[in-house]
Structure 1
Amino acid sequence: ILGAAKTGSGKTLAFLVPSINILYNIKFLPKNGTGVLIISPTRELCLQIYQVCKDLCKYIPQTNGIIIGGMSRNEEKKFIHGINILIATPGRLLDHMQNTKEFIYKNLISLIIDEADRLLQIGFEEEINLIVKRLPKKRQTALFSATQTTKVENLIRLSLQKPIFIEVTTKIATVERLQQGYALVDEDKRFLLLFTFLKRNISKKIMVFFNNCMSVQFYNDLLNYIDIPTFCIHGKKKQNKRLKSFSEFSAAQSAILLCTNVAARGLDIPNVNYIIQYDPPDDSKEYIHRVGRTCRGKDSSGSAIIFLMKHELKFLNYLKFYNIPINQFAYDPSKLINVQSHIESIVTKNFHLHKMAREAFKSYLNGYITYALKDVFDVNNLNLLQTSKNFGLEAPPKVDLNLKLNVKKRKFK
């Protein structure tokens, strides 16, 4: 089975329920080893699938478990031999397949590869290929991918035989209940707009996306320092701290989560009111995944706002290409809470924040250089002095910008 569906459409239940049902009906027990194997790209996604699976298996004899990087390999080794439904990240899974004799997967019935495009995008192509080659050839395979890339097509050829394609489609790429807007913001006022929005919506549940780990950590430290409590998730944060932040934000009625794209795919966080894209995504598909963190469920609603500078407005053309309805978010620039001098004073006097601000500024520029859509996100269009103001810096640190990159332009029909 090759599946594609809009984010938040219930894909996890769609593959878990029939998989569990098969094992239950044939009385597949712990002594038989692993019957269903689910591979997902991130630890958070694996934990989320595991929690749903655990709830579904509460009253049946079939066992379930999870193996992910960041957890104790020796502890996993103790229980892996009797796990009927196993959820795993590819690196740790391959490690156990190669080195753990107790791991029984010769009786595997179903392989489920979730977020296949994301798995391959973040460099797991070799691991996935090695895993698939080790598994029994006689099995059912379900592969879910939001996009069809060359790498995904290669994986389809390797893992699927005469696949049935199932797609849930609509003309609009995002859910209809989602209110979407863009805020046109001056280059040196981006943080002031974010600060004002967070202060005036402190009772809401908000996710804010950035394009690099250092920005997430800097703004998390800065906002907490000035008494705006925030959680943060990014790829460089230790696993136990990531899980703690994710769990606490998920359980909260009102809270602010600062994050990179590590939180953009698949995470099912209840009752998110606002998605703020402080840094724009690399393309329209990543935009869709980010805003998909709200409006999850049949009757839920939410809003998404993307911050765009004047030279970035062409990004709206890419959203229109996917029939994404988006209107300008109107605000009065004179009503922004002007804390610029206060923030600069804090950052200048605080050694930790000043060091973090400089590193985050450099990471932001490096991230900007890597945008694929050079006709929209051209680092030469940035005013470095104005950009540095968003990090509380009085002047921009020196940055060696390598501008000799290929310009990638896309045509519209």
Structure 2
Amino acid sequence: MSSAVEFHQVRKEKKRKNRPKPDVGADAISVEGPVPVAEEEEVQHEEENEDKCHRDSDEEKDDAREARDGDDAGDGAEETAPSAKKKKKGFGILTSEPFSRLPLSDLTMKAIQEMGFENMTQIQARAIPPLLAGKEVMGAARTGSGKTLAFLIPAVELLHNIHFMPRNGTGVIIICPTRELAIQTHAVAKDLLKYHSQTLGLVIGGAGRKGEAEHLAKGVNLLVATPGRLLDHLKNTKGFIYKNLMFLIIDEADRILEANFEEDMKQIFKCLPKVCWQTALFTATQTKQVEEFACLSFKEKPIYVGVDDGRSKVTVEGLQQGYCVVPSNKRFLVLYAFLKRNLSKKIMVFFSSCNSVKYHSELLRYIQIDCFDIHGKQKQQKRTATFFDFCKAQKGILLCTDVAARGLDIPAVDWIVQYDPPDEPKEYIHRVGRTARGEGSEGNALLFLLPEEVQFLLYLKEAKVPVKEYEFNEKKVPNLQSHLTKFLNVILQEKIVGENYFLSQSAKDAYKSYILAYNSHSMKNVFNVHHLNLKDVATSLCFVSPPKVNLDLESSASKFRKKTHKIDGGHHGISASNPYGRQKADDQRQFARY
């Protein structure tokens, strides 16, 4: 376990000869400029997502929609890549406009100064003045641009200027798509309200509803909420006073719609008082669905403020992005070697399912690599504690699903590793937005792709995402496979009861979840489940041969697919007479029902 993995930038004149050329033009990706991942460098890793369960209550809706619904469905090289902790000037996030030029109260200015802010970012300079003037605003800015303060400062000033008191109930509601983003927004609002008398509250799925209701009854002037729990309180909490609502803020509107909260939002609008409250809608990506939702949200034509117009790329300047093409059976070995060599870094690794996060975190700990893990199946208290622990850590590895992909501001993340591919380029952008956040920040991103998935690069190019190719040296991949395979195979065959037995069961769940998550991809022309070599997939999870799992790909795809629109896809070939699905002559697939 002492061998290492080497990554090299592949330049145009040095194409790999041992691998078939991808179906991507020579100009499909950028290969110029500095090498972000040099020969002896490590990559970090996060795991994500698990079986998306049906929830019976409104408070549990938030959980089910946060994770990708695709479930059920070393030695170190020397560091040459820039650390995300380094800062450089000239990335254009900050302006020369100080907060002191805004007509803000002394109490708010004192809090801003103590938070360490002097000048505004572009989105703040463009959004705060019209919001202070009471205008409707639709804001668009890339992640890490400071949009949280862009809407919180006007919200706090509004409550302060009209002397809003607890007995008046709730004057400002901020809706966030995930619990973690709501918790983080609440923390920033708490700092901003430090010298004000107005009250602050948080209502999210997974927390104690009774305690929230009691707090609302006492009067919460500024409320941060997730859609499902907010709707629950609007309908069922008698002491919740919201008739005096003055300002409604919707953060990450595109994510709210992706998570199928649109119906909840319509119900929320029906419950709110029929008055002309001020509305602000913020998003990282503009879509037709967001534009249609904006028509429902705004009482009058909003002022559009954006900072991305005319940019040659949608990701920040300080982000070095690359991909490596790795056969399925080598994926975990490459990941292990990368993590082993980057133990001094702060890394996030994204997975497609909660079961995958759970299994890989258990496996890494078993082979002496400590890590954090966050996914949608954890209890809220556990998720919150892990989130703050990782935020405070100077180094560490976080395995997660897309629960952590949007809006969260985790300090000084060095690497974003997408071990399982995103559903689409927009999801890729949100994942890598967890690093290189803020003025002058730098970070690195690595995308794992199978040889059959390289067409995804065309879509990244079309979305203005520049990625370079990195190559790993197979000869230096650690020879872990035989050891890990033997270990798990003995467990499966002998049915040893105990910790190891449960690890083998976890591996089986992860295998099933990976296949179902893969089958739920909307881009079927790129991520086709029938192109997977299931024997190699099983090998990446330390199985000798694919375990038999109960799969129904047709129903699982529709059940766990994130998007509600119809997508193209072929038949899986599974029937009562053919329980293994469509097979080639040399195929070792194990799609089975039992």
TM-score for both structures, normalised by structure 2:
0.67
* Corresponding position of 2:232: 95
Match of 1:253?
394
Alignment of 1:9-408 (within 5 A): 9-81=145-217, 82-136=219-273, 137-149=275-287, 151-160=289-298, 161-169=300-308, 170-348=311-489, 349=491, 350-399=500-549, 400=551, 402=553, 406-407=567-568
Q: Which amino acid aligns with 2:433?
A: G
Give the number of aligned pairs: 409
CA contact (8 A) 2:141 2:285 kept: no
Gaps of 5+ in 2: 1-136, 492-499, 558-566, 571-594
User: Which moved further from structure 2: 1-10 or 328-337?
Assistant: 328-337
1:73-98 deviation line (CA, Å, top 9, x unaligned): 11111111311110001111111111
Aligned to 2:100: none
Alpha carbons 1:192, 1:340 under 8 Å: kept: yes
SS in 2 for 1:211: coil
Amino acid at match of 1:402: L
Confirm or deny: 8 A CA contact 2:321 2:467 kept in the other structure.
yes
Measured in 1, the distance between the counterparts of 2:441 and 2:479 equals 34
Secondary structure of residue in 1 paired with 2:384 = helix
Determine helix, strand or coil for the equivalent of 1:189: helix
- Structure 1 vs Structure 2: percent identity of aligned residues? 53
**What SS class does the counterpart of residue 140 from structure 2 fall into?**
strand
SS of 1:329's equivalent in the other structure is: strand
Tell me the SS of whatever aligns to 2:398: strand
CA distance in 1 between counterparts of 2:403 and 2:569 reads 24
For the residues of structure 2 that align with 1:362 and 1:408, how far apart are their CA atoms?
20
- Superposed CA deviations along residues 129-155 of structure 1, whole A, max 9, x for unmatched, are 111122233110011233444543442
Inter-partner Cα distance in structure 2 for 1:370 and 1:99: 35
Q: Which amino acid aligns with 1:122?
A: A
Instruction: Say which SS state the counterpart of residue 330 (structure 1) adopts.
Output: strand
Q: C-alpha distance in 1, partners of 2:191/2:569?
A: 46
| Structure 1 unaligned spans of 5+ | none
| Letter of the structure 2 residue corresponding to residue 359 of structure 1 | D
Distance in 1 between residues matched to 2:341 and 2:171, nearest whole Å: 50
CA distance, structure 1, for counterparts of residue 552 and residue 462 of structure 2: 31
| Shift of residue 313, structure 1, vs aligned partner | 0.6
SS in 1 for 2:435: coil
8 Å Cα contact 2:329-2:539 kept in structure 1: yes
Q: Pick the structure with greater CA Rg.
A: 2
SS of the equivalent of 2:284 reads coil
Q: CA deviation at 1:407?
A: 2.8
Whether the aligned pair in 2 keeps the contact of 1:129 and 1:155 (CA below 8 Å) is: no
How far, CA to CA, are the matches of 2:569 and 2:522 in structure 1? 6
- Check whether the contact 2:235–2:271 (CA below 8 A) recurs between aligned residues: no
2:176–2:182 Cα contact (<8 Å) kept:
yes
The normalised TM-score by structure 1 is 0.96
Aligned counterparts of 1:100 and 1:30: Cα–Cα separation in 2: 17
Distance 1:244 1:346, change over 3 A: farther
> Deviation at 1:171?
2.5
Amino acid at match of 1:162: K
Shift of 1:292: 0.3
Counterpart residue type for residue 302 of structure 2: P
* Equivalent position SS for 2:328: coil
Task: Provide the aligned C-alpha RMSD in A.
Answer: 1.6
More helix by share: 1
Whether contact under 8 Å (1:283, 1:373) holds in the other structure is yes
